[in-house]
Amino acid sequence: MDKLRIKGGKPLNGTVDISGAKNAALPELCAALLTADPVTLENVPGLQDVSTMLKLIRNMGVTADRSATTPGTVHINAGSLSSPEAPYELVKTMRASVLALGPLLARFGEATVSLPGGCAIGSRPVDQHIKGMQAMGAEIVVEHGYMIAKLPQGPDGKRGRLKGCSITTDMVTVTGTENFMMAACLAEGETILENAAQEPEIGDLAEMLIKMGAKIEGHGTARIRIQGVESLHGCTHQVVADRIETGTFLCAVAATGGEVVLRHGRADHLDAVIELLIAAGAIITSGSGFIRIAANGRMQAQSFRTTEYPGFPTDMQAQFMALNSIAEGSAKVTETIFENRFMHVNEMVRLGAKIEIDGKFAVMEGVEKLSGATVMATDLRASASLVIAGLVAEGETTIERIYHLDRGYDQMEAKLRAIGADIERIKS
């Protein structure tokens, strides 16, 4: 397996182009299953999870190819879809595969989707997806590790359409909101999603669906209203910039010092993170299509609590903890979303960080310096936090199992190297 080697202590200066958001691209690839017309997605990041999703929909008989001439462009045509099934061999490597359930069920009246495998950062049950689809009229059984969903057949033997209804989830669920929104676009009547997730990626998906002919209101709020239509058509849509990649680079510059412009970054998608970085001592300005950060000297440690958007994102917890580890003072971090999302702590302690864990709380005492060592990535965002720690550690840091990093960051080491980091990938 590939590794990253980092020699720390260098400030970061220059410009970084932020890639398209993984968490928008994955549901939008599934949204293309809702129509037999061609769909073009632009600004699609070159990530392992995206490659897995493309492989999954190709396995269904869909044509899905990256443009040979325009980087980041993917052409999808689900007119030839012949097998509405997501097998375990593909689903096990990426939980977002469950997003195929809603589009397949809405368009074909049936879907067979494997239950996702275990997740390192905690339990993410699919029961909310099942309950919502059942409320819309689907008959779903779970057997042999698969969700088998079907709509009742009419006298002519054809399966009917999903029925609009009101769905209130027991918890805020991003993929659940996305699945229900996609399914409701082709349902009969009106669907109202209560307690809906409000992430920018959901708003971006809604904008794509509207381009396809969907009737959606309220996206970006906790109450989304969808009026079903009989069919959707193709469109061209640009994937929104990745706010988590943006936040990761902001934390990296705050930790190392320097000045960096993040092109395509959206400050309005990162209010909670930027507010905390400014409180820590970073200077941040922004405008249309860019965020600029300047940092000089040691930051001040900041306590925070992860929560659903628009609060502080759980996907930024590990990266900000890396910054806190070398900041001045102490801080308390409360993780409310995933029960196992402090697995990076043991690896950061190997680098010299002072962190104690008590259930969902982490208490940190900033140290003046970290010391390079060999560490192991345990999940996607944990790997990013170790990169940040390696950038500030004295000596050499080696990060193993970086396939986690490749799931969510497009050419991260190349982008860092371009702004002054001493970092290289060691091929296995």
Provide the pairing of β-strand 38-42 with 236-238: parallel
Task: State the burial class of residue 110 (Cβ atoms within 10 Å of its Cβ: 0-12, 13-18, 19+).
Answer: middle
- CA 343 – CA 376 distance, rounded (Å): 10
Tokens of 159: 């399966």
Q: Is the bond preceding residue 310 a cis peptide, omega within 30 degrees?
A: yes
Give yes or no: 251 in active site. Answer: no
Decide: helix, strand or coil at residue 332: strand
CA quadruple 247, 249, 252, 258: dihedral positive or negative?
negative
Cβ atoms within 10 Å of 131's Cβ, excluding its own: 15
Q: What CA–CA distance (Å, rounded) separates 284 from 382? A: 24
Choosing from 119, 165, 185, 251, which is the catalytic residue? 119
Please give the single-letter amino acid code of residue 183: A
Cβ proximity of 351 and 397 under 8 Å:
yes
Q: Tell me how far CA of residue 153 lies from CA of 137, 161, 189, 379, in angstroms.
A: 12, 10, 19, 43
Phi, psi for 400 (deg, rounded to 5): -95, 165
**One-letter amino acid identity for 392?**
V
Residue type, 403: Y
Q: At what angle do helices 200-211 and 22-31 cross, to 10 degrees?
A: 30
> Whole-angstrom Cα distance, residue 284 to residue 271?
11
Residue 42, judged by CB atoms within 10 A of its CB (0-12, 13-18, 19+), counts as middle
- CA distance from start to end of the chain: 5
What number of other Cβ atoms are within 10 A of residue 394's Cβ? 14
Residues classed as catalytic:
119
